[in-house]
């Protein structure tokens, strides 16, 4: 069990320390003129009022007043690091994505690990899925894999995402967490229970980011140079080994060092202990995917590794800490729609919803020019006719025409570029086609529960029932039949726990 506080080495260089003796010259105002005093405001006489003409003071206060940007609506608390991805197995027959090409090819990456429900200052060890987002700065533009540390998700239609997330946040009346909300929702949306079991297993409290796997969760498409399509699930497997915290340790650390994961990642990289993950694909042909016993477009389901084994692709190594947290980690903007030729989204409707949602939230959180920010801009500067808007970086297209086609030059179209998922045959009735809940939805949670060794089954039951007991009895009763449907043993153990423990639910009821 790791110590609750990672020891802070007072000698260790932090990002705010400069090597001894190094100077950065004169202190200047935002507009670049020398600052005469950074200690004393300009006043009319010793005891007189402050002068409006003190630009340095006004600019400093006004800038400070605007230091906060909206935090991410989900995944607000996170830690990030730079590194590289190196191809170790040649899969170029499956995809024309250049960064997945020749063995030995290296691509710079930036990865961010996060919790989901908490605010920017919340505890890193909260029981929660973990975000696992990787930006690949490829020669064909940026490719983002915005995954989680779980191979499935709670809901399978993007219409349900805001509802689900509301249940993970604060009660609208009291502004504190209310277990009624999440259990009420899950009792009505039982396809969530696969992910709920993972959440309340020991994997719900990973011991930092270095000791967890990452998954695309969704199925993606790989497109070869010849236009052939394969379906793939991405698996980043930690080379540090899986390590989880017990519930008790996670809670204790939340109180003593809420930045446990952030510090663990930073310190490991500072001391040269670079974390790495091996990337594998599960690969299916279109025919295999169509014939599979589970819908590969349903993100509440896994594809069994017995049916489709893992194929090694490459290795991701994180070896450089950010120089500035805000500029690099906070302003990082990932999106499943940041893609490159050779990789395309599948028709998983959750993934399709995400293609819209991320750039939309980035325009709100960072502004219309979020892709100009250094952490988000591709290796080669984008060339197009987009202009202006808040916070333009660079030359804004200079004197080049801001329309196309034109007679004066400028960037030209590339007819051979392979569009996202283009050349996919699509036909069907435009309608709201529901995913019906069937017995199939309970197979995989059952298999998961029965795969756990006895001590982990015990932890799962105690973690889950220990939280469910905080909900109203009527909601507890609504959840139990679903747990029985997963596994009779699971249902009865949870029911027993609830019977033995009085309802210690929150004072406020919905």
- Is residue 282 within the footprint of ligand HEM (CB under 6 A)? no
Tell me the Cα Rg of the chain.
26
Q: Residue for token digits 């590339």?
A: 414
Report the 3 state secondary structure along 399-410: CCCCCCCCCCCC
Part of the chain binding ligand HEM (CB under 6 A), chosen from 10-18, 34-42, 73-81, 305-313: 73-81
Among left, alpha and beta (phi > 0; psi -120 to 50; other), residue 507 is: alpha
Report angle CA 323, 329, 330 to the nearest 5 degrees.
120
Report how far residue 343's alpha carbon sits from residue 315's, in angstroms, rounded to the nearest whole number: 18
CA atoms within 13 A on the CB side of 260: 28
Decide if 85 contacts 109 (C-beta within 8 A): yes
The tokens describing 203, both together, are 């994997």
- Is residue 75 within the footprint of ligand HEM (CB under 6 A)? yes
CB 151 to ligand HEM: min, Å? 9
- Is residue 469 within the footprint of ligand HEM (CB under 6 A)? no
Catalytic residue among 56, 75, 338, 372: 75
Choice from 6, 56, 77, 78 touching ligand HEM (CB under 6 A)? 78
Burial of 109 (0-12, 13-18, 19+ CB in 10 A): buried
Choice from 200, 334, 370, 449 touching ligand HEM (CB under 6 A)? 334
- Is residue 357 within the footprint of ligand HEM (CB under 6 A)? yes
Tell me, yes or no, if 257 is annotated catalytic: no
- Is residue 190 within the footprint of ligand HEM (CB under 6 A)? no
Decide if 133 contacts 112 (C-beta within 8 A): yes
- Identify which of residues 186 and 334 has a Cβ nearer to ligand HEM in the complex: 334
Tell me, yes or no, if 311 is annotated catalytic: no
- Is residue 491 within the footprint of ligand HEM (CB under 6 A)? no
Choice from 98, 106, 177, 365 touching ligand HEM (CB under 6 A)? 365
Partnered with residue 234 across adjacent β-strands are: 281
The tokens describing 378, both together, are 């591709």
Choice from 94, 189, 254, 350 touching ligand HEM (CB under 6 A)? 350
- Identify which of residues 166 and 252 has a Cβ nearer to ligand HEM in the complex: 166
Q: Residue number with the shortest CB distance to ligand HEM?
A: 131
CB 13 to ligand HEM: min, Å? 26
How many amino acids of this chain bind ligand HEM (CB under 6 A)? Answer: 29
- Identify which of residues 374 and 454 has a Cβ nearer to ligand HEM in the complex: 374
Report angle CA 325, 329, 332 to the nearest 5 degrees.
145
| Nearest CA among 170, 82, 74, 144 for reference residue 115 | 74
CB 412 to ligand HEM: min, Å? 32
- Identify which of residues 80 and 314 has a Cβ nearer to ligand HEM in the complex: 80
Report how far residue 144's alpha carbon sits from residue 85's, in angstroms, rounded to the nearest whole number: 13
- Identify which of residues 200 and 334 has a Cβ nearer to ligand HEM in the complex: 334
Catalytic residue among 82, 142, 148, 202: 148
- Identify which of residues 74 and 464 has a Cβ nearer to ligand HEM in the complex: 74
For residue 84, say whether it is annotated as part of any ligand binding site.
no
Choice from 6, 56, 74, 233 touching ligand HEM (CB under 6 A)? 74
What DSSP line would sit under 113-140, residue for residue? EEESSS-TTS-TTSSS-EEEEEEEEETT
- Is residue 230 within the footprint of ligand HEM (CB under 6 A)? no
Decide if 318 contacts 272 (C-beta within 8 A): no
| Nearest CA among 250, 128, 124 for reference residue 177 | 128
Helices (H), 1-80: 55-65
- Identify which of residues 299 and 486 has a Cβ nearer to ligand HEM in the complex: 299
φ and ψ of 136, to 5 deg? -100, 120
- Is residue 397 within the footprint of ligand HEM (CB under 6 A)? no
Report how far residue 43's alpha carbon sits from residue 440's, in angstroms, rounded to the nearest whole number: 75
Part of the chain binding ligand HEM (CB under 6 A), chosen from 70-78, 89-97, 444-452, 480-488: 70-78
Site track 134-153 with ligand HEM (rule: CB under 6 A), x = hit: ------------xxx----x
Residues recognised as catalytic: 75, 148
Binding residues: 358
Binding residues for heme: 358
Q: Which residues bind ligand HEM (CB under 6 A)?
A: 72-75, 78, 112, 114, 131-133, 146-148, 153, 158, 161, 217, 299, 332-334, 350, 353-354, 357-358, 361-362, 365
């Amino acid at each position: 069990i790791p110590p609750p506080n990672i020891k802070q080495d007072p000698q260790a260089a932090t990002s705010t320390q400069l090597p001894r003796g190094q100077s950065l010259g004169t202190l200047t105002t935002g507009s670049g003129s020398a600052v005469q005093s950074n200690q004393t405001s300009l006043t009319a006489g010793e005891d007189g009022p402050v002068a409006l003409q003190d630009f340095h003071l006004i600019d400093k206060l006004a800038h400070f007043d605007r230091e906060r940007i909206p935090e991410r609506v989900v995944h607000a608390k996170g830690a990030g690091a730079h590194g590289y991805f190196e191809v170790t197995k040649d899969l170029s027959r499956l995809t024309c994505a250049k960064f997945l090409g020749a063995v030995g090819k290296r691509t710079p990456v930036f990865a961010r690990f996060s919790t989901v429900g908490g605010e920017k200052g919340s505890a890193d060890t909260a029981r929660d899925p973990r975000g696992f987002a990787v930006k690949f700065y490829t020669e064909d533009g940026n490719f983002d894999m915005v995954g989680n540390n779980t191979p499935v998700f709670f809901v399978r239609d993007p219409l349900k995402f805001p509802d689900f997330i509301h249940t993970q946040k604060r009660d609208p009346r009291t502004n504190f967490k209310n277990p009624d909300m999440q259990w009420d929702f899950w009792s009505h949306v039982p396809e969530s229970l696969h992910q709920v079991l993972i959440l309340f297993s020991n994997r719900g409290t990973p011991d930092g980011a270095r000791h967890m796997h990452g998954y695309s969760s969704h199925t993606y498409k790989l497109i070869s140079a010849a236009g052939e399509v394969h379906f793939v699930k991405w698996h980043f497997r930690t080379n540090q080994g899986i390590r989880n915290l017990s519930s008790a340790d996670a809670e204790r650390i939340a109180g003593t060092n809420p930045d446990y994961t952030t510090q663990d990642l930073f310190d490991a990289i500072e001391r040269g202990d670079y974390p790495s993950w091996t990337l594998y694909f599960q690969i299916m042909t279109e025919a295999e995917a169509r014939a599979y016993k589970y819908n590969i477009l349903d993100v509440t389901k896994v594809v069994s590794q017995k049916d489709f084994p893992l194929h090694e692709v490459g290795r991701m190594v994180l070896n450089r800490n950010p120089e500035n947290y805000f500029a690099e980690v906070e302003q990082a903007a990932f999106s499943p729609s940041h893609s490159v030729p050779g990789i395309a989204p599948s028709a998983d409707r959750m993934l399709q919803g995400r293609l819209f949602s991320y750039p939309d939230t980035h325009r709100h959180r960072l502004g219309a020019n979020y892709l100009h920010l250094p952490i988000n801009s591709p290796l080669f500067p984008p060339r197009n006719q987009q202009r202006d808007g808040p916070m333009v970086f660079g030359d804004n297209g200079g004197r080049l025409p801001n329309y196309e086609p034109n007679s004066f030059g400028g960037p030209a179209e590339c007819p051979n570029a392979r569009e996202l998922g283009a050349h996919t045959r699509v036909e069907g009735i435009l309608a709201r086609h529901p995913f019906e809940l069937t017995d199939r939805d309970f197979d995989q949670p059952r298999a998961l529960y029965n795969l756990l060794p006895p001590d982990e089954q015990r932890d799962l039951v105690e973690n889950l029932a220990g939280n469910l007991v905080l909900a109203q009895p009527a909601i507890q009763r609504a959840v139990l039949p679903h747990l029985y449907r997963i596994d009779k043993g699971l249902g009865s153990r949870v029911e027993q726990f609830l019977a033995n423990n009085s309802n210690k639910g929150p004072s406020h009821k919905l």
